[in-house]
């Protein structure tokens, strides 16, 4: 992380000449829902260190992980009023307010984690950020991600139809709700901090989750089957309050944009490097391990497309075109 910070700080100095900025010193607050050891939290801390270094100590960032400032809906509201300065947030929450972002959750838009990273770095993805100040009241500086989505459950399945009737935890947002409804499970929307207890006490039969958190939070201890489906990517976005942004000098805006974009982008590389290791760790636990592709979900993918082609507008064909080019 130190090397990453030094690289980001020296890039900022080289490109924009920010050395010695002292006027308008700010103590920024950045919120996220992920726990302290999570890749996103470490990247947020790295961003804070890089900003402090590049501003000659004028600016500091205090990172509040693990939902200390509220859930993502609450943090987005705080960003809108200016009560919170910055956040690293799932696109899920943004897509609840700007449906075009639902296009990122098209099942099998990305073939794998490398492809997901390339799509998130595409011009089509970047173009979607432009509407955020007007539609949501925040500035989106760039994308990161968590790993591909998998299903951890109890009882094997030849196809998604075999999961019918199971209660599967999903992240609370519409694109994933529509997908799970399309193959007949009982999707149970639940924020991340509630997942461990719900799985451990049998409130849900399984969870939609990524490999990192299955390993780091030991979810596999309360399930007997991992179905590696890679069915969706899980983008994150670096956000600055529109109100706070408007009060910053052009120089500070450029410095924050560059350093925060580099920090969220670094998570894309982290998942490309580490995703397979986490999957291997899950396999090594000895739970039943299946691999499945789009055919596992039958016509649920078409059912999702039918709903979201309308809701996501031009964003879906634009991201599909980028995905095809980047294959
Ligand atoms: C989830 O809700 O599953 C989730 C949220 C943030 C990061 C990773 C996963």
Q: What is the pLDDT of residues 151-161, one digit of tens each?
A: 999 998 999 99
Average pLDDT over residues 126-138: 97
pLDDT at residue 10 in the model? 45
Average pLDDT, the chain: 93
Separation of CA 31 and ligand 1 centre (Å): 14
Q: Which atom of ligand 1 is nearest to the CA of 146?
A: 8
Tokens 């998570």, residue located: 267
**Closest Cα to atom 8 of ligand 1:** 146
Helix (H, G, I), strand (E, B) or coil at 52: helix
Residues in a beta bridge with 227: 151, 290
Distance of CA 150 to the CA centre of its chain: 14
Could you tell me the distance, in angstroms and rounded to a whole number, from the CA of residue 201 to the centre of ligand 1?
20
Alpha carbon nearest to ligand 1 atom 5, residue: 192
d(CA 121, CA 36) in angstroms, rounded, equals 26
Read off the pLDDT band of 9 (50, 70, 90): very low
| C-alpha to C-alpha distance for 236 and 130, rounded to whole angstroms | 16
**Angstrom distance (rounded) from CA 220 to CA 182:** 26
pLDDT of residue 96: 86
Q: What percent of the chain has pLDDT over 70?
A: 93
User: How close is the Cα of 254 to the center of ligand 1, in Å?
Assistant: 29
CA angle centred on 295, ends 289 and 300, rounded to 5°: 110
pLDDT surpassing 70 at residue 2: no
For ligand 1, atom 4: residue with the closest CA = 192
Does pLDDT of 276 surpass 90? yes
**DSSP class of 1:** -
What pLDDT does 7 receive? 44
- Sign for the pseudo-dihedral over CA of 87, 91, 96, 98: positive
Spacing, Cα 265 to ligand 1 middle (Å)? 17
CA distance 131 to 141: 12
Evaluated on CA atoms 194, 195, 197, 199, the torsion sign reads positive
Ligand 1: atom nearest CA of 210 is: 9
Answer yes or no: are the C-beta atoms of 50 and 263 closer than 8 Å. Answer: yes
CB distance 141 to 241 below 8 Å = no
Other beta carbons within 10 Å of 317: 13
Tokens 């799985």: give the residue. Answer: 199
The number of the ligand 1 atom at minimal distance from the alpha carbon of 172 is 2
Task: Give the number of the atom of ligand 1 that is nearest the alpha carbon of residue 208.
Answer: 3
Q: pLDDT digit string (tens) for 88-110? A: 999 998 998 999 999 999 999 99
Which pLDDT does position 6 carry in this prediction? 42
The preferred substitution site among 37, 146, 169, 268 for testing ligand 1, maximizing ligand atoms within 8 Å of CB, is 146
Ligand 1 center to 208 CA (angstroms): 9
Give the list of residues 6+ apart from residue 122 with CB closer than 8 angstroms, or none.
Answer: 319, 322, 325, 326
d(CA 306, ligand 1 centre) in Å: 26
Residue 325 CA to residue 64 CA, distance in Å, equals 38
Residue 171 Cα to ligand 1 midpoint, Å, equals: 7
CA nearest 174: which of 268, 109, 277, 95?
A: 95
Strands 27-31 and 86-90: parallel
- 104 and 95 Cβ atoms separated by less than 8 Å: yes
Whole-number pLDDT of residue 164? 92
CB atoms within 10 A of CB 235: 26
pLDDT tens digits along 164-210: 999 999 999 999 999 999 998 999 999 998 999 999 999 999 999 99
DSSP codes of every residue in 8-27: HHHHHHHHH--TT--TT--E
Angle at CA of residue 22, ends 19 and 27, nearest 5°: 110
């Amino acid at each position: 992380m130190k090397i990453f910070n030094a690289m980001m700080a020296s890039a900022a100095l080289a490109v924009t000449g920010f050395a010695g900025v002292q006027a308008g010193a700010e103590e920024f607050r950045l919120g996220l829902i992920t726990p302290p050891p999570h890749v996103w939290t470490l990247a947020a801390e790295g961003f804070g260190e890089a900003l402090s270094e590049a501003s000659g100590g004028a600016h500091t960032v205090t990172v509040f992980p693990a939902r200390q400032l509220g859930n993502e809906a609450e943090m987005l509201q705080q960003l809108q009023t200016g009560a919170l300065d910055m956040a690293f947030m799932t696109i899920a929450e943004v897509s609840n307010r700007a449906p075009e972002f639902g296009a990122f959750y098209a099942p099998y838009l990305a073939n794998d984690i490398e492809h997901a990273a390339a799509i998130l770095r595409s011009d089509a993805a970047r173009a979607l950020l432009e509407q955020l100040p007007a539609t949501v009241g925040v500035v989106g500086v760039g994308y990161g991600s968590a790993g591909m989505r998998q299903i951890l459950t109890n009882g094997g399945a030849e196809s998604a139809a075999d999961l019918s009737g199971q209660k599967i935890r999903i992240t609370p947002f519409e694109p994933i709700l529509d997908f799970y409804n399309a193959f007949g499970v009982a999707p149970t929307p639940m924020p991340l901090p509630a997942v461990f207890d719900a799985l451990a006490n049998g409130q849900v039969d399984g969870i939609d989750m990524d490999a990192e958190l299955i390993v780091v939070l030991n979810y596999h201890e309360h399930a007997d089957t991992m179905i590696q489906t890679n069915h969706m990517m899980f983008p994150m976005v670096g956000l600055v309050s529109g109100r706070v942004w408007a009060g910053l000098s052009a120089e500070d805006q450029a410095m924050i944009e560059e350093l925060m974009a580099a920090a969220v982008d670094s998570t894309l590389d982290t998942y490309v490097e580490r995703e397979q290791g986490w999957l291997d760790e899950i396999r090594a636990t000895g739970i039943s391990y299946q691999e499945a592709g789009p055919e596992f979900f039958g016509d649920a993918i078409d059912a999702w497309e039918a709903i979201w082609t309308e809701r996501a507008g031009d964003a879906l064909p634009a991201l599909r075109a980028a995905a095809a080019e980047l294959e």
